[in-house]
Structure 1
Amino acid sequence: MPPADLDADVSPRQQEIVTRVREQGFVTIETLAKMFDVSPQTVRRDIIRLDEVGLIQRFHGGAGQRENTTRLGYSQKRDTSPDGKRRIALACAALIPHGSSVSLDVGTTVEAVAHALLDHRRMHVIATSLGAATLLADSQVGDVVVTGGLLRGADGSLVGDAAIAAINRFRVDTAILACSGFDDEDGSVMDFDVLKVAIKQAMVAQARRVILVADAAKFARSALVRVMPFEAVSIFVTDAAPPEHLAQRIADAGCRLVVAPAEVA
């Protein structure tokens, strides 16, 4: 069934585009053209029409949900793209060798990564959120250090000087970071909370490599605070090919792009 608020003049294909956008957050023109076996120009016209009636928002290379600077609540984030986050987590965990050291950011995608690391052994984990730390508690992963600091928000994030001081004590092999979106102009990694951004930047400074994890819903969103340029990211793991302008920015920065494979039924 199509969403109840769809315009009566919207075609069945356009209805399906709206449904896909609402389920995934962002869908590329290329993906939609293959899905419907039509030309990219046809999809582009559909997206323009749907943008005009206010059902979705047109972006470079695809379509996303409107109000792309809206900050989602923690419960909303947990319900957004759960399959994509699981695929991202598995692909990310495959890049982490046993016996290595990692620092874990806050967020539902990073929590999925923490869950995917449960089969790893002899690890040294620095957790900057209670969510990730709780998932690893009483496991056989290895040593888990919780940074401490000021507890901020329903996601269990730990921020402030004490948290940064704890991060600065360790030099880790890999920092695993999440974000809220990307800058529309230069593709910078973006987030909303200045205190959380300070934690992310401290993690980057103390890591030999940085893995950024974000689902495709983030492609069409921006935020308020710049975290880092893509030059600071070693590997970007996501669940769908980014739109052309963002993919080009990633390539120009020398960042490795990993698109998590679809799950086999």
Structure 2
Amino acid sequence: MTADARRDQIAAYVAQRGEVRVDELVTAFGVSRMTIHRHVEELARQGVLRKLHGAVSAQPSGVYESLFGFRQTHATAAKQAIARAAAAELLPGQIVLLDDSTTVATLLAHVPKAAPLTVMTNSLAHAPVLAGMDEVRLIALGGEYHPTYNAFIGHLCETALAQVRVNLAICSASAIAGNAALIQDPQVTRVKQAMLAAAARKVLLVDGTKFGKVALHLLADLAQFDAIYTDGALPDDVAQRLHDAGTKLVQVSVK
């Protein structure tokens, strides 16, 4: 098991339990106390876990939402409703960029209805789904594989994106604070910014639970997006403030 994969498993283990003793992690993962401490130190540095005396706890923030396994099971009904509405953005003949988010993963079911399409993605999870679709030309963006996101990121991915121009980019964010879309990881931030820079139309999909949260890096001001799809969980005062600021907000009902 790679160090990244073990850290992801430790983060998931702690997040499910809230707080865990270090000795329990040593037993659960069958590694030395020193190895657990190294992983905990790195996860604390990333802001995923918080170190306590002889124990660790999950951070009360949106940072853990970066982990692919967690994102797959979070706000699924809202994501499905958002994806159904955002499917109207897909038009036959387009070249579309899709990020590695699980919200965008929910959109994949609607892709065949808009075919023929050319779809580019950095997601290892999206690629095999798209590869099996009729009249969908798949372009997989390379780069360094990162198990936390189950996606390719880094310099090679950014360089490839700098060489293309597309009709539409659809992405998500870790958090929304004020009028800003935020991402926790700097490498992921740069890849998504490169996607937005390559696109004539920019669309953000984000469930209402992410509003009022904080992540470290600015992805973009909300005003940079041509449309932002979210669900009815967004507080009325927040929705009104965004509308008043000129944000192109599309709220959908979750059934």
Cα gap change, 1:172 to 1:250, in 2 (>3 Å):
farther
* Corresponding residue for residue 164 of structure 2: 170
Q: How far apart, in 2, do the equivalents of 1:202 and 1:252 lie?
A: 28
Assess if the C-alpha contact under 8 Å between 1:173 and 1:208 holds in 2. Answer: yes
Counting only pairs closer than 5 Å after superposition, residues 43-192 of structure 1 correspond to structure 2 as: 67-72=60-65, 73-183=67-177, 186-192=178-184
Cα gap change, 1:67 to 1:198, in 2 (>3 Å):
same
Cα gap change, 1:171 to 1:253, in 2 (>3 Å):
farther
- Length-normalised TM-score, structure 1: 0.69
Structure 1 vs Structure 2 CA RMSD = 1.9
* Corresponding residue for residue 233 of structure 1: 225
Q: How far apart, in 1, do the equivalents of 2:241 and 2:218 lie?
A: 15
Instruction: Provide runs of 4+ in structure 1 moved above 2 Å.
Output: 241-255, 260-263
- In structure 2, stretches of 5+ residues that fail to align are 1-58
Amino acid at match of 2:199: A
Deviation at 1:90, TM superposition (A): 1.1
Deviation at 1:141, TM superposition (A): 4.1
| Structure 2 counterpart SS, 1:231 | helix
| Structure 2 counterpart SS, 1:135 | helix
| Structure 1 counterpart SS, 2:125 | helix
Assess if the C-alpha contact under 8 Å between 2:175 and 2:182 holds in 1. Answer: yes
Deviation at 1:245, TM superposition (A): 5.2
| Structure 2 counterpart SS, 1:205 | helix
* Corresponding residue for residue 16 of structure 2: none
Number of aligned residues? 196
Cα gap change, 1:160 to 1:94, in 2 (>3 Å):
same
Q: How far apart, in 2, do the equivalents of 1:141 and 1:260 lie?
A: 29
Q: How far apart, in 2, do the equivalents of 1:242 and 1:126 lie?
A: 30
| Structure 2 counterpart SS, 1:201 | helix
Q: How far apart, in 1, do the equivalents of 2:155 and 2:141 lie?
A: 10
Counting only pairs closer than 5 Å after superposition, residues 34-45 of structure 1 correspond to structure 2 as: none
Q: How far apart, in 1, do the equivalents of 2:237 and 2:147 lie?
A: 33
Amino acid at match of 1:108: T
Q: 1:2-60 deviations in whole A, cap 9, x for unaligned?
A: xxxxxxxxxxxxxxxxxxxxxxxxxxxxxxxxxxxxxxxxxxxxxxxxxxxxxxxxxxx
| Structure 2 counterpart SS, 1:130 | coil
Amino acid at match of 1:174: L
Amino acid at match of 1:151: Y
| Structure 1 counterpart SS, 2:109 | helix
Which protein has the bigger helix share? Answer: 2
Amino acid at match of 1:219: F
Assess if the C-alpha contact under 8 Å between 1:110 and 1:213 holds in 2. Answer: yes
